[in-house]
Amino acid sequence: DAGITQSPRHKVTETGTPVTLRCHQTENHRYMYWYRQDPGHGLRLIHYSYGVKDTDKGEVSDGYSVSRSKTEDFLLTLESATSSQTSVYFCAIGLGLNEQFFGPGTRLTVL
Amino acid sequence: RKEVEQDPGPFNVPEGATVAFNCTYSNSASQSFFWYRQDCRKEPKLLMSVYSSGNEDGRFTAQLNRASQYISLLIRDSKLSDSATYLCVVNIGNSGYALNFGKGTSLLVTP
């Protein structure tokens, strides 16, 4: 299995609070991604990174920010959590047009 | 219009049956193609890449028709352990090589 972990694995928080999810890889991949998965939507791209300090927005980036200060870590922050951000969040690592490998996911509930 | 469309199912089949999943994609510039498998409450995992010449891995056969923008997955001699959701995935090559996912097709193999 690819060396990719996510923390926390589960989180319950309240509306309006900031939340940070962490993705950590040991594979030294340049590209890292955050997706969210919701019933009826499949996986959708939130943000991605193509190197340290190099990030860009995906399809559903509103309300989220990211940071990548080291190759191995990619952080996703919900600046002020809303109930619509209740979801399962997956981090992935990839290498160009090749397949991507996914972390185990974080289940976030915003009350 | 969704980039990747697939029949959500569910497909309920008996053990030993052959089952086929279809998928269409809208962007003719799509460059790489995959089938991922996702078990309940788990991360997506690569099942197989899909090549224009078609490719086979044991009981699984994948086909790609670029002219029709159509991808298929055939599972022969279904096993109980094949029960999962199968995700059709396309890489257009933009957004940092982020993946575009279909919503998934649910398969249940019964004894």
Mind listing the pLDDT tens digit for each residue in B16-57?
Answer: 999 999 999 999 989 999 999 999 999 999 999 999 888 999
**Chain B residues within an 8 Å CB radius of A56:** 95-96
Using alpha carbons only, how large is chain A's radius of gyration in Å? Answer: 13
- In this complex, do B103 and A58 lie within 8 Å of one another by their Cβ atoms? no
Question: How much is the pLDDT for A2?
Answer: 66
- Strands B105-110 and B11-14: what pairing? parallel
Q: Output the average pLDDT for chain A.
A: 95
Mutation target among B3, B97, B100, B103 for the A interface, most CBs of A within 10 A? B97
> How many angstroms separate the CA of residue A20 from the nearest CA in chain B?
20
Phi, psi (rounded to 5 degrees) for B3:
-65, -40
**What residues contact B2, with CB distance under 8 A and at least 6 apart?**
B26, B102, B103
- In this complex, do A104 and B104 lie within 8 Å of one another by their Cβ atoms? no
In chain B, whose CA is at the least distance from the CA of A30? B96
Residue B21's DSSP bridge partners are B73
**Strand-by-strand arrangement of the B19-25 sheet:** B4-6, B19-25, B70-75, B60-65, B55-57
- Which of A40, A43, A99 shows the shortest C-beta gap to B101? A43
**Average pLDDT value for residue range B54-82:** 96
Instruction: Indicate the pLDDT class of residue A12, thresholds 50, 70 and 90.
Output: very high
C-alpha–C-alpha distance, residues A58 and A25, integer Å: 20
- In this complex, do A102 and B103 lie within 8 Å of one another by their Cβ atoms? no
Instruction: Indicate the pLDDT class of residue B5, thresholds 50, 70 and 90.
Output: very high
- In this complex, do A42 and B45 lie within 8 Å of one another by their Cβ atoms? no
Count A/B contacts: CB-CB distance under 8 Å. Answer: 55
- In this complex, do B32 and A48 lie within 8 Å of one another by their Cβ atoms? no
**Structure tokens of A6?**
């996510």
Q: What is the DSSP-derived secondary structure letter of residue A63?
A: T
- Which of A40, A50, A90 shows the shortest C-beta gap to B43? A90
Q: In this structure, how many other beta carbons lie within 10 angstroms of the beta carbon of residue B67?
A: 6
Q: What percent of chain B has pLDDT over 70?
A: 99
pLDDT tens digits, one per residue of A22-58? 999 999 999 999 999 999 888 999 999 999 999 999 9
- In this complex, do B101 and A42 lie within 8 Å of one another by their Cβ atoms? yes
